[in-house]
Structure 1
Amino acid sequence: MLMKGDNKMSLNSLIDAAVEKNNDALVKSLQELIRINSVYSDPKPGMPFGEGAAKALENALALCASLGFRTKNMDNYVGYAEIGEGEEMLGIVVHLDVVPEGSGWLYPPFSATIADNKMYGRGTIDDKGPAVSCIYAVKSILDAGIAPNKRIRIIFGADEETAWRDVEYYAAAGEEIPTCGIAPDANFPVIFAEEALLGFELRMNRKASGIEEISGGTATNAVPDACKAVVLDKNGNKITVETVGVAAHASLPHLGENAISKLMEELYAKHESGEINCPIAAFYHDKFGMCYYGENLGFDVTDDSGRFTCNIGTAAVDGDEIVLGVDMRVPVTLNPDDVIAKMKEHITPYGLTLTGEGCTPSVFMDKNSEMIKTLMSVYSEITGDTESEPLAIGGATFARAFPNTVAFGALLPERPMTEHQKNEFIDLDDLLLITKIYAQAIAKLVE
């Protein structure tokens, strides 16, 4: 790493000073991005993930261009901003799409309202806040007079919350793969392991299921906070059942309250009493119930990468079928193919079928690798936290999409986890702090 000019201030002090100088601009840029609703919507010409996602990508690339980055928009699937020179490249992989906002917010979810030193809005912590933080972290390195010895490329995804077609498009186009990278879409201090992400649908004939209508959840990777169903009693009269839950990330289902599970348990009670005939509720009770860890399925396994989790995130009618969307996080010692095979054994006697299975592989990096040690060192030095250890999570980040890449931040220890929930926010003091962490870490990684 080269430093321009002669300055007696320490390298860290120079970077911190630059971050503080850029802080007001960072907050303003983040507010502009939060105010773009980038939930996946129906595709439009030239907008594969909907108008909002395209606008968010355009906004981020325009910001980077104004700060001196070289930018490229890849047909609104994905884009990147690059700066610096050199054969090697550090990747910073972020995403600009967000999960549906849900209901019950204190402030409008796309208003970027600041109250009590917190910015509220969908995407403030997952993942627009970290994305803008990293943009200004790189700017601050340059403002501090540092010339990186590697190129820095920020890759902006627009489909992370849905199907990862953004990073697939990047790879299929033959774009350069970073030498190493970080994905600021999880927790500090650093994530050394991510469980495999397994998703599929369970389908049952609607008439055979005993449910006439059902609607619950908005995404399989979130614990649903509402569900509504219509069933018939033994006299053919319609009964409407509604439940309210608590939203949470699917990788941490115990932090939420699954409204679909609650509804199925209510239907099961009516089924058992003879008030209704609802075979799908009996299946659900037997195999899922209110469990989080696959206890009734025989999948409750824990290893260094974490504990198995299961979330039924969506329930809907699709033509003549009831469809349940399932999200599982699978520890590295459990084979996802074996899980699928066992699930088929579980569901067949109940008349269900399994379709649409897909698996994103796990991530595992040695805790003693130079990458992990460097990131841990920077985090500890800036925060003073010398007790936290590298983490394993069930969450799926873009670290899976690129080699030699790990998730790094952005949620600090002992902070509430509000991603995928109502009233998502980022504390503005934390925003400044994480930008200092990212700036120092990026500077170290491009030495």
Structure 2
Amino acid sequence: MSFLISILYNCAFIILGLWYIPLYIIKKKFSLGVFLEKLFIATGLKRKESIWFQAVSVGEVLAVKTLLHKIKEKFDYRIVVSTTTITGKKVADNIFGAWAEVIFFPFDITFVLRRAINIINPKLFVAVETEIWPNLFFLLKKRDVPIVILNGRISDKAYFKYKKIKFITKKVLSVCSYIGAQNDYYRKRFISIGAAPDKVHISGNIKFSSFDIKEDELSSFREKYINILKGEQNHLFIAASTHNPEERIVLGIFKELVLSFKINLLIVPRHPERAKEVEKDAASHGFSPVMVSTLGRKHVENSSGNVFILDTVGDLFYFYSLCDVCFVGGSLIDYGGHNILEPIYFRKPTVFGPYMNNFKKIEEVVLENEAAVKVKDRDELKFYIEKILLDDSFRKKLSGSALNVFKRQRQILEDNIEIITKYIS
């Protein structure tokens, strides 16, 4: 990047920051502490050679969970995990904090990045999914640090933005050592925004191999929650990763379900800070919702028709093991969907809506194996939830098909470890 362009980019970044940061603070997505960390003033890190992974938020952090454990076992380098969002950092702290350095991703401003790179001292930089940062990439290239993109994908929204600035993305992607796309669809997208075809490869979707279950933890978890959430012979319906107004849709359906079934509902808003808002929605539907964080302190009737709200970060995965039917949100509205593999991994009957733009390949594999149900609207969602609860053969068919989703995907993890090994050797 030329000196003039770098100055202009830095100025634009700072101006936009002055506009957005106050908004993020008001929305509680930012704080003074986060601001200082992103300026790389208050990280507490010491200079040491590292492998640096950047994972934007919760989904990306969970995607590399197993991969990072394997990398830790294979190499002696310090692992640094940076995230962009507060929720992403909380989850990363919970998963990696005992043995890795977890930080906020620094601002893409030259003087900030120089300090960050000096301290992190990366032997390799790995970006998870779609992370294109001009200043960072060019500074890493100057220091001969390999830049690898793994699990690469470009959403529709990002794709159209990148197409408009192809003259920039082409230069930025030119300094990457390796771009691993999830599939051929995304490989073509990377090439169309300027990536050199010989650098873009299909490395698979590591979300298929990102599950790391500790049986003792799972057993303790089930023992702690199963009686509270399910009671005696109750079904448990989980509505996961929901967005407004999906909670109200689910609550309306649940209000009808309790007339015919012994069933409880667990709502897991995608953003836990919305838990109070969801609590009000549940109350307006005539329920007395209970926050999961209060269980043990608050008495819950051992009966059906209870509504629970998961108001903590990064705890959803094991809750899937308890459910009898699951709806994965962000899909009844035009948000792009969320990861449907997690409940399917536990062989749980899973339903999702028509908007899965961010998970096209996963959706394709799941539907090819008939391991979940795609619905078009609220009425179909209600119909298939009832069908799953009533039709034992249909429910068993979905559960049995779930195993096929993961059979051909197990090699992906090893392939991605080999890629990292190649560029760190």
Normalized against structure 1, the TM-score is what? 0.29
Query: Per chain length, whose mean CA-contact separation is higher, i.e. which structure has more relative contact order (CA < 8 Å, sep 6+)?
Result: 1
Quick check: which one's helix share is greater? Answer: 2
Instruction: With the length of structure 2 as denominator, give the TM-score of the two structures.
Output: 0.31
Q: Which structure carries more strand by proportion?
A: 1
